[in-house]
Amino acid sequence: MIKVAHIISGLGTGGAESTLLRLLSASEELREGSIVISLRDKGAMGERIEALGVSVCCLNLNNFYDIFTAAVKLRGLIKKYEPNVLQGWMYHGSFVAFLANLLSRHSMPVLWNIRHSLYDIGTEKRGTRYVIRMGAFISKYIAQIIYNSNVSATQHQVYGYAAEHNVIIPNGFDCDVFTPSTDIRRKFRSELGITDEILIGIVGRYHPMKDHENFLKAASIIKAKIASSRFVLVGAGLTEENRYLNSLIEKLGLANYVFLLGERRDIPAIMPGLDILASSSSFGEAFPNVIGEAMACGAPCVSTDVGDVAMIIGNTGEIVPAKDSAALAEGIYKLASLSDNERCLLGLRARNRIIENYDLSTVAREYEKLYQSVI
């Protein structure tokens, strides 16, 4: 039996957390006997993971300096649950997994799961920079380092991460959950009070990495060209309470064209309602889940050229330079100018690309094989 202790920085609504939830939901073998340990609290994903029958433990860390205390606590959980693999997720979870194994009497394979691209370490917080550099030093002692993008693997090698332990496993998507639907499309648009308008969406928490300012500047260009265009922003912090964001929306003349929906857990009920999904991230992304989710729902994508996005989208959307609002607007305009039928066919190609290359069941089997190989 594969018994994995998944050690993750937190259980919010980020890409790593969503991927972990999907893997556990897709594979009984990955669920049975496994445990999820959050360095922080249960967040939005904890209860959903528990609903799958997987135990969730929270260490409730307050800051980076508690990381060594976490390793000691984790040692006790390892003794209690007796996993045969330690799987760290993201930098902090991976570092704690290594420390806990070091303290444990029964050494076991430690795997890291890095979900981040590393264009410039200077953009990271000081504590995270320290963990990244320590990770490079100790990476040669790790059984396998899983990356979800080729770009991320190459970038981390430059910073000293051991290349001989690299494994590339992309994100996977349940295309029965993320699927086109005229009923869902109609319902979501009714919620917004629109019908035939061109709806362009961006999904992702409010964070400098996501570069929402870039998206909104592009939106102002599109609005001037296509009067029927509307823009929806989904993610934590994207609400009326965000003063800076609302000030920018007013300044760009978008007040009557933008919907701020905040954090939503019903993404499969949103994506089919979009005509185009935009991603304006300037750094940090390796394999954005929202790209695969949108494509699976038949929404073609326009994205900045970060991580492996160009390879994921292929010829089903547009890739533009980061931090270039004019280029982002041009990419969106190109897709928005298509007829409804042409855009629908492009979206169908996008969905087929996800089914063929990033099916969740296939990705789950890759994890199963990897764990079996190191036990």
The pLDDT of residue 69 is above 70? yes
Assess whether the region 4-172+359-374 and the region 182-357 belong to the same CATH fold: yes
9-68, pLDDT tens digit by residue? Answer: 899 888 899 999 999 999 999 998 899 999 989 988 999 999 999 999 998 887 766 777
294-305, pLDDT tens digit by residue? Answer: 999 999 999 999
**Mean pLDDT value across residues 107-128:** 88
**Mean pLDDT value across residues 263-277:** 96
The Cβ-side half-sphere exposure at 214, using a 13 Å CA radius, reads 27
Range 182-357: architecture per CATH: 3-Layer(aba) Sandwich (3.40)
The pLDDT of residue 80 is above 90? no
The pLDDT value given to residue 299: 98
The pLDDT value given to residue 214: 97
**Mean pLDDT value across residues 75-100:** 90
**What average pLDDT does the chain have?**
93
Q: Which residue has the higher pLDDT, 33 or 363?
A: 363
The pLDDT of residue 185 is above 80? yes
Specify the CATH superfamily of domain 4-172+359-374: Glycogen Phosphorylase B; (3.40.50.2000)
- Mean pLDDT is lowest, of 55-69, 198-212, 301-315, for 55-69
Angle at 159 between CA 155 and CA 160, to 5 degrees: 115
Helix (H) or strand (E) holding 313: helix 309-313
Q: Find residue 7's DSSP bridge partners.
A: 37, 88
Q: In what order do the strands lie in the sheet with 85-89?
A: 55-58, 35-38, 4-8, 85-89, 110-114, 144-147, 166-168
Q: Where are the domains of the chain?
A: 4-172+359-374, 182-357
Single-letter amino acid, residue 162: A
Q: For the chain, what is the radius of gyration of the CA atoms? A: 21
Q: Residue 337 corresponds to which tokens in the numbers above? A: 């100018």
- Mean pLDDT is lowest, of 10-14, 45-49, 166-170, 255-259, for 10-14
The pLDDT value given to residue 64: 63
**Mean pLDDT value across residues 117-126:** 84
User: Rounded to two decimals, what is the model's pTM?
Assistant: 0.91
Q: Any residues with CB less than 8 A from the CB of 291 and at least 6 apart, and which?
A: 277, 279, 301, 303, 309, 312, 313
